[in-house]
Structure 1
Amino acid sequence: MSKDLLAGKVALVTGAGRGVGRGIALELAAAGAKVVVNDIGATTSGEGQDLSPAQEVVAEIAAAGGEAVVDTNSVADWDEAHAMVQTAIDSFGRIDIVVNNAGILRDTIFHKMSREEFEAVINVNLNGVFYVSRAAAPHFKEQSGGSYIHITSSSGLIGNFGQANYAAAKLGVAALSKSIAMDMQRFNVRSNAVAPWAWTRMVDTIPAETEEQKKRVEGLKKLVPEKIAPFVAALASDAASGVTGQIFGVRNNEIYLFSQSRPVRTAHTSDGWTPASVIERVFPMFQNDFYPLHRSGDVFTWEPV
């Protein structure tokens, strides 16, 4: 890869110590960016702290001739999110790219999910995206440019069992990304969302009890997290200056552009609707276009290539 692609750019990657975030941090550095490697080293459920994953990524970047620093602030705290952006400013003088990748899981079936399980995931996976993005916004505005890349998920875009908290957060990320794109367009700032398919320690928490589940997990194990990074590097570059407000997916060697919500059917009456007329006319009219309760695996049925 040419180091000219992101030469002179400074990137902040959250959750960059392992998995998809690690691959993105290494790829951005290989493309010439200076990278703030943010990771508190928590478990998949957001507990504990281990600085070694982030330190190892920084060491790997340095060994390859790049520049990077460790940041251990939490995305789930407003002040710490601002502190991690300040780390970029203090270390490298600017910030050009924010990759909101940090996330946790607290998978529980909805009717058994506790308030703490819901709020913990929202705080990291959705609030954290807002906090970090908001912290970078004044810098992007002042320099008339910047690129946000937010990691969403097919669990939110399509759906999955036992992930009401995670799905709500990740669909919220897609909506937040679109709003950022609209509000920041006047300042030449772009915002896009990317849904990755990759075998990571978070995906490793998926239960595999039935034969169907075991087959799905075996398929997921083929998905290499490093495959996500080239697309993110391209999206972060000036060559993607016309790309904003979009939702993409990356699965091994496949790249997707997702649709966004638009009306698919309409019903109209000149007399106004009553509950009875809605039941009699609208529900039957719309029935064939109702979306089934698909999970992500029901939609992406083919083997990754």
Structure 2
Amino acid sequence: MPKRLKDRVAIVTGAGGGLGRTHALELARHGARVVVNDLSGSAQAVADEICEAGGEAIAYAGDVTRYDEMEAMAAQAISKFGRIDILVNNAGILRDRTFAKMPLDEFRLVLDVHVMGSVNATKAAWTRMQSQNYGRIVMTTSSSGLYGNFGQSNYGAAKMALVGLMQTLSLEGARHNIHVNCLAPSAMTAMTEGLLPQAAAAVLTPERVSPGLIALVGEDAPTRMILLAGGGSFECAHITMTRGIHVGDSDDPAEALCKRMAQVQAQADQVIPASGWEQPEHELAKALARPR
């Protein structure tokens, strides 16, 4: 098998088990040298597993919610391997409850781990990737963020925030050949235990998600993609904008809008905006094109 990632250096957060572990093993199988991050001693076990299979890996026990620890992790990667090519922001937790019953500290905790954890690790790697004019970053999003899930308001908010982070960083990273993507996995892990039927365990394995990660971190990787992966199947999600309507300065714009909401929602001729500026540009063009 050709080593698609030969001599590349990858960091995987939350890699002591579950998806993070299989990501780290798959990266190593494709030739990457891996920094295995986790809070617990399990990171060392995964690094040892990679080395025993003939790969190169080191462990770093650091907390993604602490920027100083993520900076130290990046420095250790540079010291050991000389560069950072790939960052996989995988660390996460669940605190599921309905919004009415959810303490605000549980809401903040989930955002802190998923969102600020990804921000901290990315910030530590970003300027190093800029200086070498190469980088591949993956944010772990979820269908809970893209489409919502009952009892996961904190998790869904965090996961959709990572999509927004990816969208902007993919634009800012383009001139330095830094590609940024999102991976939305479906897998049975310790974090999802009890949320999926037991029959899914044999199909929705972490090992069947990680090939999708490889597609997002190679030299020919896309950028600004939301890749859905589970059970060996892969899909793509998009944030789109419908053609919509223009009500302008009619006698009652709100009433006109309420009566035509079906037209606003119609998906024919919808587009995928290249940046946030396309919304006001699209709306201005419709307003100026309207006969007066």
Which structure 2 residues correspond to residues 150-169 of structure 1 after superposition, within 5 A? 150-169=139-158
- The answer to which structure, 1 or 2, has the higher relative contact order (CA under 8 A, 6+ apart) is 1
Which structure 2 residues correspond to residues 86-101 of structure 1 after superposition, within 5 A? 86-101=75-90
Residue in structure 2 matched with residue 189 of structure 1 by the alignment: 178
Rate the CA distance shift 1:139–1:106 in 2: closer, same or farther, 3 A.
same
The question of whether the paired residues in 1 share the 8 Å contact of 2:170 and 2:224 is answered with yes
Q: CA deviation at 1:282?
A: 3.5
Residue in structure 2 matched with residue 209 of structure 1 by the alignment: none
Deviations 1:100-131 (A, max 9, x none): 00000111100111111000000000111111
The structure 2 residue matched to 1:232, chosen from 205, 210, 213, is 213
Q: CA deviation at 1:36?
A: 0.3
Q: CA deviation at 1:134?
A: 1.2
Q: Do residues 217 (structure 1) and 217 (structure 2) align?
A: no
Rate the CA distance shift 1:106–1:93 in 2: closer, same or farther, 3 A.
same
Q: What amino acid is aligned across from residue 253 of structure 1 in structure 2?
A: G
The question of whether the paired residues in 2 share the 8 Å contact of 1:267 and 1:282 is answered with no
Q: What amino acid is aligned across from residue 63 of structure 2 in structure 1?
A: S
Residue in structure 2 matched with residue 292 of structure 1 by the alignment: none
CA distance in 2, matches of 1:264, 1:77: 43
Secondary structure of 2:136's counterpart equals: strand
Q: What amino acid is aligned across from residue 225 of structure 1 in structure 2?
A: P
Residue in structure 1 matched with residue 130 of structure 2 by the alignment: 141
Report the TM-score when normalising by structure 2: 0.86
RMSD across aligned C-alpha pairs, in angstroms?
Answer: 1.7
Rate the CA distance shift 1:269–1:145 in 2: closer, same or farther, 3 A.
same
Q: Which runs of 4+ in 1 moved over 3 A?
A: 272-279, 282-289
Q: CA deviation at 1:150?
A: 1.1
* Structure 2: tracts of 5 or more residues without a match: 268-292
Q: What amino acid is aligned across from residue 252 of structure 1 in structure 2?
A: G
Q: CA deviation at 1:159?
A: 1.0
Residue in structure 1 matched with residue 68 of structure 2 by the alignment: 79
Residue in structure 1 matched with residue 14 of structure 2 by the alignment: 15
Q: What amino acid is aligned across from residue 11 of structure 1 in structure 2?
A: A
CA distance in 2, matches of 1:238, 1:272: 55
Q: Do residues 244 (structure 1) and 233 (structure 2) align?
A: no
Which structure 2 residues correspond to residues 36-47 of structure 1 after superposition, within 5 A? 36-41=35-40
CA distance in 1, matches of 2:129, 2:263: 48
Aligned sequence identity (%): 39
Rate the CA distance shift 1:98–1:278 in 2: closer, same or farther, 3 A.
same
Residue in structure 2 matched with residue 258 of structure 1 by the alignment: 237
Q: CA deviation at 1:273?
A: 4.2
Q: CA deviation at 1:69?
A: 0.6
CA distance in 2, matches of 1:284, 1:255: 31
Q: CA deviation at 1:276?
A: 3.9
Secondary structure of 2:63's counterpart equals: coil
Deviations 1:165-214 (A, max 9, x none): 000000111111111100110111100001001100111042xxxxxxxx
CA distance in 2, matches of 1:247, 1:137: 20
The question of whether the paired residues in 2 share the 8 Å contact of 1:14 and 1:99 is answered with yes
Secondary structure of 2:250's counterpart equals: coil
Q: CA deviation at 1:283?
A: 3.9
The question of whether the paired residues in 2 share the 8 Å contact of 1:10 and 1:33 is answered with yes
Q: CA deviation at 1:274?
A: 4.0
Q: What amino acid is aligned across from residue 259 of structure 1 in structure 2?
A: H
Q: What amino acid is aligned across from residue 282 of structure 1 in structure 2?
A: R
Instruction: Kindly tell me the number of residue pairs found equivalent between the two proteins.
Output: 266
Q: Do residues 282 (structure 1) and 271 (structure 2) align?
A: no
The structure 2 residue matched to 1:103, chosen from 92, 102, 109, is 92
Q: Do residues 200 (structure 1) and 189 (structure 2) align?
A: yes
* Structure 1: tracts of 5 or more residues without a match: 42-50, 207-215, 290-305
Q: What amino acid is aligned across from residue 19 of structure 2 in structure 1?
A: V
CA distance in 1, matches of 2:226, 2:137: 12
CA distance in 2, matches of 1:26, 1:285: 48
